[in-house]
Amino acid sequence: MGRQGGSIVTLVESTRARGQAIWAQIAQTLQDEITSGVVKPGEQLPPEADLAARFRVNRHTLRRAVAALAEAGAVRVEQGRGTFVAEDVIDYALGQRTRMSENLRKLDRTPGSTFLRAAEMPAPVRIARSLNIRAGRPVIQLETLSHADGRPLCLGSNYFPKARFDGIIEDYRRLGSITKALASRGIDDYFRKVTRIMAQMPDAGDARLLQQPRNQPVLVTESIDVDPAGTPIGFGIARFAAARIQLVVEN
């Protein structure tokens, strides 16, 4: 990445000659490489030892440079994983018609979705109330991982009344989209009735799937979708990687 070997020695020597802090000049060099696209958003910087060797400084000096970049928001340091170039934050719109793929395409992002697991279960009281069914009635749980430009963005836990949507698991596997799976079950359009937004710390599994540290919070939404007649069709819990997204509530 960038200049190597003797050119860095010249940089450091000239920095000493001008009385400038070496760590600040290293930080500026790395910042210039980030700005020019030598390293791209989401990419990992070389290990600390490699960077220290590249600039021919000790690790303490290198750490000061990286800390300055982190404080400026140019990089994020993930304990046990390394240092990554900060990504552009996605403005994700929450409105009457909230659709993951549509939202991302409008932002010129490439959407993707991975099926994680599915199960049939008795509806807990909270989910039953949201779906306007009796507690204990069977619901279908569908777990997905959504991507933007290949980067994990959101984990979704989606619940549907089995009486109305039996077979939606196979539809999702075949179509790769909840909206398309609902359409195959006769729901050509649906609307967001309510969205609740909160923040919480992820568990180990969510942090691993979202590729983020456990000490970094996730944005959580709980939502109810209804059909054109106003009947609840789905209850969803979504966990968003907070460093990559901000939720925009549309009027």
User: Domain residues of the chain, as ranges?
Assistant: 6-85, 90-249
* Identical fold, 6-85 and 90-249: no
pLDDT of residue 9: 41
What was the pLDDT predicted at 17?
Answer: 46
Tell me, what amino acid is at 19? G
Q: pLDDT at position 124, please?
A: 97
pLDDT at 220: 97
Count of alpha carbons within 13 angstroms of residue 31, beta-carbon side: 16
* Maximum Cα interatomic distance, the chain, rounded to a whole number of Å: 77
Just give the CATH number of 6-85.
1.10.10.10
- The runs of H, that is alpha helices, within the chain are 6-18, 22-35, 48-55, 59-71, 100-106, 125-131, 162-165, 168-175, 178-184, 204-210
Q: Do 117 and 75 touch, CB atoms closer than 8 A?
A: no
Q: Which residues of 81-95 are buried (b: 16+ CB within 10 A; e: fewer)?
A: eebbbbbeebebbee
Q: How far apart are CA 169 and CA 239, in angstroms?
A: 21
The encoded tokens of residue 132 equal: 């306007």
Which CATH number is correct for 90-249, 3.40.50.920, 3.30.420.40, 3.40.50.720, 3.40.1410.10? Answer: 3.40.1410.10
- The confidence score (pLDDT) of residue 10 equals 43
- Regions in the chain scoring below 50 on pLDDT: 1-10, 14, 17
